[in-house]
């Protein structure tokens, strides 16, 4: 019996010890990473699709070896990464290198979580100015683009041929709507896009918004109303399906892949999937109202160096980033991601290697950063008002005019 | 649970102390470690509760009382804002409609889940051939991950290629924009949520039915009660304790339903299917520039709503006991 009670007491001691160990483990893990000096450098990226043996990860490892350190890489889901990065900055355990979606850069910069090129001595002179814009605010640069993607119009050659439409004639909004009318008359569906009530919806609407000559600082201008009217009329006349209101870019692509649609607004990242379509496709730039390619928003990620307690780590981080963004590695990375490189010389190499990329290179050169024009952290508010207006008009709740007026009020008061 | 644990430890301690007393030191010295022992047993659950319940709750309240920007979230030093975040949320033009949607969503879901669940429980209580298999099949919605069922519903209800509209078309009814028209989106998410909630109600009510003695029914049958009377006079009153806890759990669960709505409509179009839970998420995480303060404020309002429901439940419980 004494043995039993002793065993109980032992168990209790073990429980307490375990609790104490857990508690101390929790508290010590915090200062573990900020300690610095060690050989391991942390890299976070939004490419969870790449496994440990992928080219991307071996490139990271190779750059680490060149810089004399080991690289520990974690891939997160894009939307997850913003919150993770903010939390890590709050806890003081940010990664050494953070690769993140470009509009997030201004948010993280506002939070004081990123170093500027003045601190980390990164050379960004080779980068295309319209792409770099998304990472700049008040004259400071917070990161370097690793690759860019943007939007264009994919078309189904079979549907267009059957309807008697020559894609080369689609130069402006009038000719595009005329093409859609012909397609509808031939018994096929016109165009699909994504107008969902998230950032994706604004991203897809922006080429039309900017292509009308509108500015994000004035959401209710007559030009803006004309862009939203274009979309609303397409829905009313049956050129675009009602499901666009709830479409993500992926579901919109799935609609296009059925082969019923003549056009689809989608991005560079679908190129690999486009090869798997059961029909032949082509791409044209999104036309502006008055003709010529409309400025589409730039997508794609930035490589940034988050603030560390131990500023001595920046030197190695800078070497890692410089390695990731040198011309040859950019070409390799952007080919695997099916992105357009942020450097003009590399863009030309991509276009020669694959002529299909030519449209995309042109589109990227005409593209604009969403957070550019010194909007920075004002952009998220404006964008939320904008996608709400698009949804209100497309679902028939409000006229384009009313919807945009409400959006401008909402964006300017907050 | 806690109290029984404590009494059992003390009896063990006295037991242990009594055995150890004859050869060892005076009892007062043995008493001491025994108190430590009691704390030792309490420690795991206390640490767990503090780390995973008390602290997050405290942080959420704190978040809602300070004016956080991304900068002050990371760098610290967010100014104390009192009830400003609550004022912002309550005066937002979206608050009224969103609260209304939450109430309709919760109310309609509970009424239908409960009545359909009850009907099915009574149906399966009759033990006909294959009833076990069928009951197991009805549980499937409960077992599916929410992301799967919500995505499936959004495919079914798609305006252009959805199965529901195709079926309606076959009967000659015009297609309905289930998820994309402000008039229908809330109904659509409610339908999906009812479907997901039925199995839970079925299981709990069915097990409640097992507890009703068969003699009651036999006696009432001898007295010539109709099946309708049997339900209202025997089944329903005897099932009341099970029913109230089912409804309470359903209420707490439905108030905070987020995944189904977010996956199916993102609370849209233009907030027409937004509930307090999706609104809170949108403010805190659905935007590139998070607004933690108002988001946390809505979260706390939801907790308060669930708490009030819990208090009402305890009230009803007590009244039933008194009777």
What whole-number distance in Å separates Cα of residue B89 and Cα of residue B68? 15
Of A5, A15, A391, the CB nearest to B269: A391
What whole-number distance in Å separates Cα of residue A382 and Cα of residue A393? 17
Distance in Å, alpha carbon of B47 to nearest chain A alpha carbon:
8
Interval A274-291 mean pLDDT: 92
**Together in a domain, A285 and A176:** yes
Distance in Å, alpha carbon of B160 to nearest chain A alpha carbon:
6
pLDDT averaged over chain B?
85
What whole-number distance in Å separates Cα of residue A403 and Cα of residue A406? 5
Which residues does chain A have within 8 Å of residue B291's beta carbon, measured at their own beta carbons?
A: none
Q: Tell me, what CATH number does A50's domain have?
A: 3.40.190.10
- B→A interface, C-beta within 8 Å: 12, 15-16, 19-20, 33, 37, 40-41, 43-44, 47, 69-71, 73-75, 154, 158-161, 177, 179-182, 265-272, 285-290
A55 in a structural domain: yes
**Together in a domain, A248 and A311:** no
pLDDT at position A186, please? 92
- Cβ within 8 Å, pair A112-B160: no
- A165: helix, strand or coil: coil
Name the domain boundary from A311, A338, A365.
A338
**Together in a domain, A123 and A235:** no
DSSP characters for A236-280? HTTSS-GGGGG--HHHHHHHHHTT-EEEEEEEGGGHHHHTTSSS-
CA distances from A210 to A133, A207, A293, A392 (A): 16, 5, 10, 20
Show the domain range for A223.
151-298+373-413
CA distances from A410 to A227, A385, A389, B108, B302 (A): 19, 6, 10, 32, 25
Closest alpha carbon within chain A to B282? A198
- Cβ within 8 Å, pair A19-B286: no
Asked if residues B57 and B282 have their Cβ atoms less than 8 Å apart, the reply is: no
A15 in a structural domain: no
- Cβ within 8 Å, pair B160-A5: no
Distance in Å, alpha carbon of A24 to nearest chain B alpha carbon:
13
Distance in Å, alpha carbon of B129 to nearest chain A alpha carbon:
43
A324 in a structural domain: yes
Low-confidence stretches of chain B (pLDDT beneath 70): 1-33, 323
The vertex-A181 CA angle with A176 and A186, nearest 5°, equals 125
pLDDT at position B1, please? 36
- Cβ within 8 Å, pair B266-A198: yes
Distance in Å, alpha carbon of B141 to nearest chain A alpha carbon:
24
A176 in a structural domain: yes
Which residues does chain B have within 8 Å of residue A258's beta carbon, measured at their own beta carbons?
A: 161
Question: Per-residue pLDDT tens for A58-104?
Answer: 999 999 999 999 999 999 988 788 888 988 998 889 999 999 988 88
**Together in a domain, A67 and A129:** yes
A273 pLDDT band, cuts 50/70/90, is confident
Interval A208-229 mean pLDDT: 94
Q: Which has the minimum average pLDDT: A232-241, A299-308, B72-81, B205-214?
A: B72-81
**Together in a domain, A208 and A318:** no
Asked if residues A183 and A189 have their Cβ atoms less than 8 Å apart, the reply is: yes
Which residues does chain B have within 8 Å of residue A392's beta carbon, measured at their own beta carbons?
A: 269-270
Distance in Å, alpha carbon of B182 to nearest chain A alpha carbon:
7
Of A15, A86, A245, the CB nearest to B70: A86
**Together in a domain, A292 and A331:** no
**Together in a domain, A128 and A276:** no
pLDDT averaged over chain A?
86
Of A89, A199, A246, the CB nearest to B74: A89
Q: Which has the minimum average pLDDT: A184-193, A230-239, B74-83?
A: B74-83
Which residues does chain A have within 8 Å of residue B180's beta carbon, measured at their own beta carbons?
A: 242-243, 245-246, 394-395
Residue A153: beta bridge partners?
A: A265, A284
> Which is nearest to A161 in space by CA: A288, A36, A279?
A279
A138 pLDDT band, cuts 50/70/90, is confident
pLDDT over 70 (residue A25):
no
Rg for chain B, CA atoms, rounded: 26
Domain count, chain A: 2
> What superfamily does domain B95-273 belong to in CATH?
MetI-like (1.10.3720.10)
Which residues does chain A have within 8 Å of residue B43's beta carbon, measured at their own beta carbons?
A: 15-16, 19
pLDDT over 70 (residue A178):
yes
Name the domain boundary from A338, A358, A390.
A338
- Cβ within 8 Å, pair A258-B161: yes
Distance in Å, alpha carbon of A268 to nearest chain B alpha carbon:
22
What whole-number distance in Å separates Cα of residue A280 and Cα of residue B167? 32
pLDDT at position B80, please? 87
**Together in a domain, A179 and A205:** yes
**Together in a domain, A277 and A308:** no
- Cβ within 8 Å, pair A112-B154: no
What dihedral angle (degrees, nearest 10) is formed by the CA atoms of B196, B198, B200, B205?
180
pLDDT at position B119, please? 94
- Cβ within 8 Å, pair B73-A395: no
A165 in a structural domain: yes
- Cβ within 8 Å, pair A111-B71: yes
Distance in Å, alpha carbon of B128 to nearest chain A alpha carbon:
44
What whole-number distance in Å separates Cα of residue B64 and Cα of residue B84? 9
pLDDT at position A5, please? 53
- Cβ within 8 Å, pair A388-B270: yes
User: A209-215: long-range contacts (C-beta < 8 A, 24 or more apart)?
Assistant: A209/A386, A210/A288, A210/A294, A210/A295, A210/A296, A210/A297, A210/A368, A211/A173, A211/A286, A211/A287, A211/A288, A211/A289, A211/A294, A211/A295, A212/A288, A212/A289, A213/A288, A213/A289, A213/A290, A215/A373
Interval A311-327 mean pLDDT: 91
- Cβ within 8 Å, pair B285-A83: yes
pLDDT over 60 (residue A125):
yes
**Together in a domain, A221 and A95:** no
Interval A385-404 mean pLDDT: 93
User: Quick one: B264 exposed, middle or buried, by C-beta within 10 A (0-12, 13-18, 19+)?
Assistant: buried
**Together in a domain, A138 and A235:** no
Asked if residues B125 and B234 have their Cβ atoms less than 8 Å apart, the reply is: no
**Together in a domain, A243 and A94:** no
CB pairs under 8 A between A and B: 130
pTM above 0.90, yes or no: no
* Residue whose token pair is 């080991």: A70
pLDDT at position A55, please? 87
Of B159, B268, B271, the CB nearest to A243: B159
- Cβ within 8 Å, pair B270-A381: no
Residue A141: beta bridge partners?
A: A136
A120 in a structural domain: yes
A200 in a structural domain: yes
- Cβ within 8 Å, pair A13-B75: no
A362 in a structural domain: no
pLDDT over 70 (residue A147):
yes
pLDDT over 80 (residue A166):
yes
More confident residue, A27 or A10: A10
What whole-number distance in Å separates Cα of residue B25 and Cα of residue B13? 16
What whole-number distance in Å separates Cα of residue A83 and Cα of residue A198? 16
What residues contact residue B275 under an 8 Å CB cut-off, 6+ apart? Answer: B98, B101, B102, B105, B257, B258, B261, B267
């Amino acid at each position: 019996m004494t043995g039993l009670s002793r065993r109980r007491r032992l168990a209790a001691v073990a429980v307490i010890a375990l609790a104490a160990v857990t508690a101390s483990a929790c508290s010590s893990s915090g200062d573990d990473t900020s300690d610095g000096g060690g050989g391991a450098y942390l890299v976070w990226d939004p490419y969870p699709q790449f496994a440990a043996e992928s080219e991307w990860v071996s490139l990271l490892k190779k750059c680490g070896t060149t810089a004399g350190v080991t690289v520990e890489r974690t891939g997160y889901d894009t939307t997850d990464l913003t919150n993770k990065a903010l939390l890590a900055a709050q806890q003081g355990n940010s990664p050494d290198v953070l690769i993140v979606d470009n509009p997030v850069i201004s948010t993280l910069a506002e939070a004081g979580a990123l170093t500027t090129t003045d601190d980390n001595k990164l050379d960004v002179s080779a980068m295309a100015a319209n792409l770099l814009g998304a990472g700049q605010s008040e004259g400071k640069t917070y990161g370097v683009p690793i690759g860019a993607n943007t939007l264009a119009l994919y078309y189904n050659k079979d549907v267009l041929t059957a309807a008697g439409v020559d894609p080369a004639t689609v130069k402006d909004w009038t000719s595009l709507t005329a093409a859609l009318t012909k397609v509808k008359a031939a018994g096929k569906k016109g165009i699909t896009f994504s107008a969902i009530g998230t950032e994706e919806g604004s991203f897809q609407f922006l080429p039309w918004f900017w292509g009308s000559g509108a500015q994000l600082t004035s959401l209710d201008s007559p030009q803006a109303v004309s862009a939203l009217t274009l979309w609303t009329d397409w829905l009313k006349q049956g050129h675009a399906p009602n499901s666009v209101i709830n479409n993500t870019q992926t579901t919109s692509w799935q609609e296009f892949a059925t082969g019923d649609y003549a056009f689809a607004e989608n991005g560079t990242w679908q190129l690999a999937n486009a090869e798997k379509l059961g029909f032949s496709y082509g791409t044209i730039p999104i036309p502006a109202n008055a003709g010529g390619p409309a400025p589409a928003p730039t997508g794609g990620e930035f490589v940034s160096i988050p603030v560390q307690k131990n500023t001595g780590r920046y030197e190695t981080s800078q070497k890692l980033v410089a390695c990731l963004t040198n011309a040859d590695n950019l070409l390799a990375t952007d080919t695997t991601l099916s992105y357009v490189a942020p450097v003009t010389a590399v863009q030309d190499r991509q276009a020669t290697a694959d002529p299909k990329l030519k449209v995309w290179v042109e589109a990227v050169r005409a593209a604009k950063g969403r957070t550019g024009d010194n909007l920075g952290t004002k952009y998220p508010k404006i964008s939320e008002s904008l996608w709400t207006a698009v949804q209100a008009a497309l679902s028939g709740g409000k006229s384009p005019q009313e919807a945009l007026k409400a959006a401008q009020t909402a964006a300017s008061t907050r | 649970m806690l109290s029984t644990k404590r009494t059992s430890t003390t009896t063990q301690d006295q037991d242990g102390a009594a055995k150890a007393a004859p050869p060892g030191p005076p009892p007062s010295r043995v008493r001491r470690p025994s108190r430590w022992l009691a704390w030792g047993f309490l420690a795991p659950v206390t640490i767990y509760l503090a780390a995973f319940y008390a602290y997050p709750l405290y942080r959420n309240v704190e978040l809602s009382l300070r004016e956080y920007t991304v900068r002050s979230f990371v760098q610290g030093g967010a100014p104390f804002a009192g009830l400003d975040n609550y004022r912002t949320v309550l005066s937002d033009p979206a608050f009224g409609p969103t609260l209304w949607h939450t109430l309709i969503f919760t109310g309609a879901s509970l009424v239908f889940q409960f009545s359909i669940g009850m009907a099915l429980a009574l149906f399966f209580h009759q033990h006909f051939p294959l009833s076990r298999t069928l009951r197991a099949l009805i549980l499937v919605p409960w077992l599916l991950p929410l992301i799967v069922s919500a995505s499936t519903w959004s495919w079914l209800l798609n305006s252009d290629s959805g199965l529901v509209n195709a079926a309606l078309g076959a009967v000659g009814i015009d297609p309905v924009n289930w998820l994309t028209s402000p008039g229908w989106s809330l109904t659509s998410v409610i339908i999906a949520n009812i479907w997901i909630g039925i199995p839970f109600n079925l299981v709990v009510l069915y097990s409640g039915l097992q507890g009703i003695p068969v003699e009651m029914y036999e006696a009432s049958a001898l007295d010539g009660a109709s099946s309708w009377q049997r339900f209202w006079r025997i089944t329903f009153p005897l099932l009341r304790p099970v029913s109230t806890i089912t409804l309470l759990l359903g209420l707490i669960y439905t108030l905070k339903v987020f995944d189904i709505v977010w996956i199916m409509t993102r609370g849209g179009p233009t907030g027409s299917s937004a509930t307090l839970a999706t609104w809170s998420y949108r403010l805190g995480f659905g935007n590139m520039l998070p607004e933690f303060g108002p988001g946390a404020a809505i979260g706390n309002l939801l907790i308060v709503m669930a708490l009030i429901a819990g208090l009402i439940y305890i009230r009803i419980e007590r009244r039933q006991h008194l009777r």
